Amino acid sequence: MPDAGGVRLVVFGVGNELMRDDGIGVRVARRLRETLADERVAVIEAGTAVLDALDLVPAGADVIVVDAASGGAPPGSVHRFGLDDLSARRGVSLHEVGLPEAVALARLGGAEFGNVIVLGVEPAAIEAGTELSPILEAKLPAILDAVRAEVARLLSS
């Protein structure tokens, strides 16, 4: 992670890489780290350890979480949620603690976050396997563009 003094935004790649498209967030984080050279942004592969990863956010920094999220749209579609939107959507999670709960716990411990945005990528296949589905692999450039656009939006505000 870059020097925390200059970090204004943290992008977390979240998901379970052993469940095909559920690992999209981690894959996006890897690709983003290869192409994004901005000391104001830290990119972290959080996997399923969301609560632990939130400890890495400098006080007041904005957070983008990239994860798989089913919303009924075509695979590869990117949904944008705030924490309140996400709290209203209850479902089964393969992660240790859901994001709204993890953020609430971190805040109880004294953490201070700026904006917390979730970019949920519509999966095609959530099943055992280590490769993305062919459709998500093909849509990865567009997904990365959507994440970069959100990074730019938050950095400019």
User: Looking at the 3D structure of the chain, how many domains does it have?
Assistant: 1
Here the tokens at position 140 are 């990865």
Q: Produce one character per residue of 78-115: b if its CB has 16 or more CB atoms within 10 Å, e if not.
A: bbebebeebeeeeeeeebebbbbebbeebeeeebebbe
pLDDT tens digits, 97-145? 567 777 787 787 888 899 999 999 999 999 999 999 999 999 999 999 9
DSSP string of 56-83? GSPTT-EEEEEEE---SSPTT-EEEEEH
CATH of residue 135's domain is 3.40.50.1450
**Domain containing residue 65:** 4-156
Model pLDDT for residues 15-42, shown as the tens digit of each residue? 999 999 999 999 999 999 999 989 999 9
CA 114 – CA 77 distance, rounded (Å): 25
The residue among 133, 105, 100 whose CA lies nearest residue 27 is 133
Token pair belonging to 67: 């994860």
What's the pLDDT tens digit per position in 50-109? 888 889 999 999 999 999 998 899 999 999 988 777 655 554 443 445 677 777 877 878
Helix (H) or strand (E) holding 35, with range, is: helix 24-35
